[in-house]
Structure 1
Amino acid sequence: MREVAVFHSTTAAMLPYQGDLPFAAVADPHRRLYARFGVDTSPWAALHPRTWLAALRGVASGKFTPPGRGETALGLPADFLIGTDGRVHAHKYGHQADDQWSVDDLLHLARRTADGSDQNVTEPL
């Protein structure tokens, strides 16, 4: 299993953080991949208390930076479990900025997919 994160930031804005990330990251400043996967924004994304806690954790770590030019704090997260054949086996569209799968959720879904018990497969992307 490999984790890849897509950010609506420029490559230049992401470069200072690349070495700190434990996963591959893709810059998508024009939100093309976001649009392709149907990931949206919401004015409520940054207003949920869980979002505030995540922002405070970022500030406390010294890694928090406000959104840059052309970026927004209103983006909603989305998680996708994509097989090696390019098919989406599972997905989760977040309702607020800190709403994503836990590691346990992801591992459970990956096991279901690997053992063939997941029949909820969509077309290749």
Structure 2
Amino acid sequence: MPRLQIGTTAPNLTPTDVTGVPVPVRSAAGLVHLQFRRFAGCPVCNLHLRSFALRHDELRAAGVLEAAVFHSPAAELSPYADGLPFPLVADPGKDLYRAYGVERGVRALLDPRVWPTVVRSLVRSSGLVLRGRERPPAARPLGGRFGLPADFLVGSDGRILAAHYGAHASDHWTVDQVLALAAEHRTAPVARPAGA
């Protein structure tokens, strides 16, 4: 799967969230941060998404719309959408993953850099599951456990403004990185056509 390059146009696909509502990959209202996660109930993914939920107002104020893609079916993903202020996209056929060049590999969990996050996220998720506040992930998630994350910042014209392909399960943009990228692209000079 070829990786998308900065400046290229985002694939012309309109996914839907877990309730069937279309999720625009480009928006005239601002920038879209399209993040690719792993499977429904993934403890590392849940920890990451909660950090974005807590700072959602900051992201909206910066003109950033969030959407998170999972390779799980909507029925498995839907319970995890509760309490998140942005759409979750179910892509069990991995059409979006292929279109954006998002990969999988055992390094997702075998890279030692991910281990501290795995421990933190398992402790968090275990406590919530035991209190009945979160469902445990599927024993055998569709698409497996070795998906790698990826992040894309898409401009209102549909161009990829920034892209990051993760080297392991916890290698993704933070809220601060997304806000910095949004600020950079809000203040970037507009390219003028030759001879203008």
Shorter-chain TM-score above 0.5: yes
The letter of the residue matching 2:120 is R
Unmatched tracts of structure 1, length 5 or more: 120-125
RMSD: 2.0
| More contact order relative to length (CA 8 Å, sep ≥ 6) | 2
Given the alignment, which residue of 63, 84, 92 partners 1:21? 84
* Cα displacement (A) at 1:112: 1.1
Unmatched tracts of structure 2, length 5 or more: 1-63, 126-133, 192-196
Deviations 1:4-39 (A, max 9, x none): 100000000011111132421100011110000000
Q: 1:2 to 1:36 in 2, by over 3 A?
A: same
Q: Share of identical aligned residues, percent?
A: 40
Contact 1:77-1:93 at 8 Å conserved across structures: yes
Aligned length: 119
Given the alignment, which residue of 52, 56, 60 partners 2:115? 52
Give the ranges of 4+ consecutive aligned residues of structure 1 lying more than 4 Å apart after TM superposition: none
Name the SS of the counterpart of 1:2 in structure 2. Answer: strand
Alignment correspondent of 1:41:
104
Name the SS of the counterpart of 1:73 in structure 2. Answer: coil
TM-score (structure 1 length as normaliser): 0.83
Name the SS of the counterpart of 2:109 in structure 1. Answer: coil
1:83 aligns with 2:146: no
Alignment correspondent of 2:182:
110
Contact 1:44-1:96 at 8 Å conserved across structures: yes
* Cα displacement (A) at 1:55: 3.0
CA distance in 1, matches of 2:189, 2:142: 42
* Cα displacement (A) at 1:103: 1.5
Q: 1:22 to 1:51 in 2, by over 3 A?
A: farther
Name the SS of the counterpart of 2:188 in structure 1. Answer: coil
CA distance in 2, matches of 1:81, 1:67: 32
TM-score (structure 2 length as normaliser): 0.55
Report the structure number with the largest CA radius of gyration.
Answer: 2
